[in-house]
Structure 1
Amino acid sequence: MSQSTLTPPPRQSSDGAPPSSRSPLGGGLKQRHLSMIALGGVIGAGLFVGSGAGIAAAGPSIVLAYAASGVLVMFVMRMLGEMSAAHPASGSFSVHAERAVGPWAGFTAGWMFWTLLCVGVAIEGIGAARIMTGWFPGTPSWMWVLVFMLFFTGSNLASVSHFGEFEFWFAALKIGAIALFLGLGVLAVAGLLPGSDSPGAANLLHDGGFLPNGVDGLLVGLLASVVAYGGLETVTIAAAESDDPVKGVAKAVRTTMWRIAVVYVGSMLVIVTLLPWNDPAVTAAGPYAATLDRLGIPHAGQVMNVVILVALLSAMNANIYGASRMAHSLVTRGQGPAALGKVSGGVPRRAVLLSSGFGFVTVLLSYWYPDTLFAWLLNMVGGVILVVWGFIAVSQFVLRRRLEREAPGKLVVRMWGFPYLTWVALAGVVGVLALMVLDEDTRVQVFFTGGLTAALAAAGYLVQRRRPE
């Protein structure tokens, strides 16, 4: 199949088709939805909870770790934004990989990401259930998972506007919480918060200094920070169902830099300035709750539980949405069961049910086989986001050359320093994967993810061979 043209075959009309054809997906996402999804999507449970392990390993140098991985993510999002603004599609990077490399690449990237999102639904559902059972002792955790799954499956079956509204308010709560945290933190660092004295640079330089565990600790923190950035890609999937996809993608991508700088790097700097990095509360209660407790905020732990619950539920909602749209996109391109391609009321309801169902099955596996099948699933998706980023970099390199030659007017968003920074981003992805291989705790994830990539690539190649030219 030739990949020399900029427009996909006619059967792809539901996923970034020419203007003359109409997508069966209903649309309904407004610019305010996309803006808030872009703003709130960067604030996840991985930041609130997972950053504690990174701080414990890297110490104050966790700021450098988040800054370095943040630069990589900015490059990836800029590349993805360039392609998505030029060719909006609900399959996002999967569509771009197919157009740039071939159908097998789109198949591999798409089904890998779908698997990652579905497993993510299980992880987030379990985490949310743990918070609820803490508030309501004696209630079974499976009941809460079922309640959340039924609720978000129902909302995603209804219409895309329901997804947009839930994410709008979830994002507003997360943004408000992080803004309040940063505001209090900056006042405390400056010594302007009543009842607290500024620690100055003591926590940054004492107890082993800025690099208490050396470069090894910094690398562990780097790996932890990369995981926290996953999920930003969903905004380019959602943009395809917005009133103005090109404007939505362009705006979201252009604000990525300051969002990462303020939310991630800024909050890490506040935390390690106000707290000793080796304070047991950083990992026991979580870095944000520990910091609020240090500032004398009443019921800090419960306050953060509410914020974390919102972040988990937001991620569940977004993952079901993203997985269903990715599955639908793959099916419309002949890369999945045709039965999943049916759209009712502008919603790919069968794809929603499949994505939710797989997520719920993974929840059951976490209870039945926590140390075998569920652990295997977790390891299998451990490095998926890096593989996806690799596909994004390769696709952007190919499609940018093609756009410059055939349709330069579509370059509404441009990757900085092309092609040099594209190569830097790709080298960064390979470098992080290499670090994962060297690290004893993450090595098995690379091997499992590699196996999944190889299996899907082989399946994708077989599907490609059977498709008519």
Structure 2
Amino acid sequence: MTSQPSLAKEGVKQPHKGDDVSLADGSGGPEGSDGLKAGLKNRHLSMIAIGGVIGAGLFVGSGSGIAAAGPAILISYALVGVLVVFVMRMLGEMAAANPSSGSFSEYADRALGRWAGFTIGWLYWFFWVVVLAVEATAGAVILEGWIPAVPQWGWALIVMVVLTATNLVSVGSYGEFEFWFAGIKVVAIAAFVVIGGLAVFGLLPGSDNPGAGFAHLTDTQGFLPNGAGAILTGVLMVVFSFMGSEIVTLAAGESEDPQRAVTKATNSVIWRIAVFYLGSIFVVLTLLPWNDKSIVEKGSYVAALDSIGIPHAGQIMNVIVLTAVLSCLNSGLYTASRMAFSLGERGDAPKSFAKVEGNGVPRTAILASVVFGFVAVGANYFWEDTVFQFLLNSSGAVALFVWLVIAITQLKMRGIILSEAPEKLVVKMWLFPFLTWLTIGGIVFICGYMLVDDAGREQMLPSLGVAALVLVIAVARDRMRAGAAER
């Protein structure tokens, strides 16, 4: 039986040199936890934590979920929300003990083996560079509608270049941009919930909505118009809109007080999901009947604003969606580059990825991520139905793979933390290990259900194929290194 690997000392990257190193007493120094500069302020981390869970998918894709499940989509969001809360609690436990730019990839590396950290790290990087192309294209569509003189590909290029420059300047500039991007999203949804809530009960002056209260939740074929099975269909449709909650644990490694940032973000994830996801969708479903055609045609939020009588609702929402797109693109580039940086530090990516410039940013890791993002953008324009569709499908289930690895890793990391630095266990997973195993079971069930669902299978099979390929490479690398060490 092999002994458990030790946690690396913060600020010292020695996970594979054979020397067990215990956790340092501090929770981060002026140079960050990975040799990166601690350029993110507490307000940056707070807003990244709040806004990180809000993607453009909430604004754009929620209408399809409502059409598929009716009011029962609230149960779908609640089920996935609970899953995300559990996953974030587990990740928070590990990240508060040892903040790192590699986050769950590095923890998997230490707890499960190099193959696990290598595999999930590269899959996560792959997911976010594909997201870069998706978000750049989505933003370009909106901008072209406003200024058609610039072609869509031109806007995509402009957006990518501007945000690449932002990330290259300093981590502080990324944090500042994300602070304002996320702030706009947060204020917009909070205002939507308050204004919509008043209209639901007929308390909003000048509202065009009849103020039906909760009647729309049941007055059109009941709360479960498409049957209980539609709840699972809804789960598949909404699960990926929650991806991004974990970004704050990667960013914490470049903050002034990583442990405090992670603890605060972990403790606040429940109300963030309750207000921004469940709260806003609840308002939509109480303002309009679930089968109102405008929910799909215009988008759920635009349809809801129109029902209230908000003028220019479509353009207002376009501005908010563009902000969400830019926020997701900004964070996606940051996240992909930091994961590439961590892989480079551990010897699982080119060493140049781990080089930090004088301004504290891993320039090569950023540019490498951007290059692949540009390739994906090109594939979207030239081979949308073939190459780009494959990229989308093969990265589609990565969120579930990441959550599954986090849960399995936490099972082992709890013992490592307790044996080496019990004082670092400032965030604890509830009812361990019962809820951890329950979470693992839930994720495995969703993966299995995707295999029998026609739409889900189109994503799960390519994702499994890519994951298997990366895993084979990881195992082969481990065996080659082991053979070289024996010689």
Shorter-chain TM range is over 0.9
Query: Take 2:8 and 2:329, find their aligned partners in 1: how far apart are those partners?
Result: 33
Farther off after superposition, 142-151 or 22-31: 22-31
Unpaired runs of 5+ residues, structure 1, are none
**Partners in 2 of 1:429 and 1:45 — Cα distance?**
23
For 2:159 and 2:38, the matched residues in 1 are separated by: 24
1:90 pairs, out of 77, 80, 101, with 101
> Cα RMSD over matched residues?
1.7
Partner of 2:422: 408
2 and 144 in structure 1: CA distance in 2 versus 1, 3 angstrom threshold: farther
In structure 1, what residue type is equivalent to 2:280?
Answer: S
Q: Is the aligned partner of 1:46 residue 2:47?
A: no
Residues 157-306 of structure 1: pairs in structure 2 closer than 5 A: 157-196=168-207, 197-306=210-319
Match of 1:214, SS?
coil
- Whether 1:316 aligns to 2:329 is yes
Query: Could you list the runs of 4 or more consecutive aligned residues of structure 1 that deviate by over 3 angstroms after TM superposition?
Result: 8-13, 16-23, 466-469
Work out the number of aligned pairs and report it. 467
Matches of 1:221 and 1:332, distance apart in 2? 40
Q: Which residue identity does 2:341 align to in structure 1? A: H
- Are 2:439 and 1:425 equivalent residues in the alignment? yes
Distance 1:358 1:250, change over 3 A: same
Q: Structure with the greater relative contact order (CA < 8 A, sep ≥ 6): 1 or 2?
A: 1
1:139 aligns with 2:150: yes
TM-superposed deviation, 1:210: 0.5
1:292: Cα distance to partner?
0.5
Distance between the aligned counterparts of 2:170 and 2:214, measured in 1?
Answer: 51
User: Which residue does 1:327 correspond to in 2?
Assistant: 340
Per the alignment, residue 388 of structure 2 pairs with 374
| Equivalent position amino acid for 2:297 in 1 | A
Secondary structure of 1:89's counterpart equals coil
CA-CA distance at 1:332 after TM superposition: 0.4
User: For the residues of structure 1 that align with 2:370 and 2:13, how far apart are their CA atoms?
Assistant: 29
CA 1:3/1:453 → structure 2, altered by over 3 Å: closer, same or farther? farther
The amino acid of 1:395's aligned partner reads T
**Partner-residue secondary structure (3-state), 1:114:** helix
Q: What SS class does the counterpart of residue 371 from structure 1 fall into?
A: helix
Deviation of 1:465 after TM superposition, in Å, equals 2.6
1:29 matched to 2:29: no
Give the whole-Å Cα distance in 2 for the aligned partners of 1:411 and 1:230.
25
Q: Report the counterpart of residue 8 of structure 2 in structure 1.
A: 7
2:150 is paired with a residue whose SS is coil
What letter matches 2:190 in structure 1? A
Matches within 5 A, 1:419-458: 419-458=433-472
**3-state SS, counterpart of residue 194 of structure 2:** helix
> Quick one: distance in 2 between partners of 1:344 and 1:450?
36
C-alpha distance in 1 between matches for 2:415 and 2:48: 30
Query: In terms of mean alpha carbon deviation, does 194-203 or 306-315 score higher?
Result: 194-203
The CA deviation at 1:12 is 5.3
**Corresponding position of 1:338:** 351
Letter in 2 for 1:340: F
**Corresponding residue SS for 2:385:** coil
Query: How far 1:95 sits from its partner (Å)?
Result: 0.4
Identity %: 51
1:269-295 CA deviation, whole Å, 9 max, x = no partner? 111111111111111111011101100
Unaligned runs of 5+ in 2: 17-21
State the 1:138 CA deviation: 4.1
Structure 1 residue 38, shift from structure 2 partner = 0.5
Contact 1:3 1:101 in 2 (8 A): no
Alignment of 1:347-366 (within 5 A): 347-366=361-380
One-letter identity of the residue aligned with 2:87? V
Q: CA deviation at 1:382?
A: 0.8
Shift of 1:195: 3.1
CA deviations 1:268-323 (Å, max 9, x no partner) are: 11111111111111111110111011000010000000000000000000000000
Q: Is 1:124 paired with 2:135? A: yes
Deviation at 1:442, TM superposition (A): 1.4
Residue 390, structure 1, aligned to residue 401, structure 2: no
**In the TM superposition, what is the alpha-carbon distance from 1:220 to its structure 2 partner?**
1.5
- Give the distance between the partners of 1:425 and 1:39, measured in 2 at CA: 23
In the alignment, the residues of structure 1 paired with residue 102 and residue 481 of structure 2 have an alpha-carbon distance, to the nearest angstrom, of 19
Contact 1:3/1:102 (8 A) holds in 2: no
Residue 165 of structure 1 aligns to which amino acid in structure 2? Answer: E
Partner in structure 2 of residue 114 of structure 1: 125
Give distance in 1, aligned partners of 2:311 and 2:211: 20
* Contact 1:58–1:220 under 8 Å retained in 2: yes
Q: Give the Cα separation in 2 of the matches to 1:10 and 1:169.
A: 33
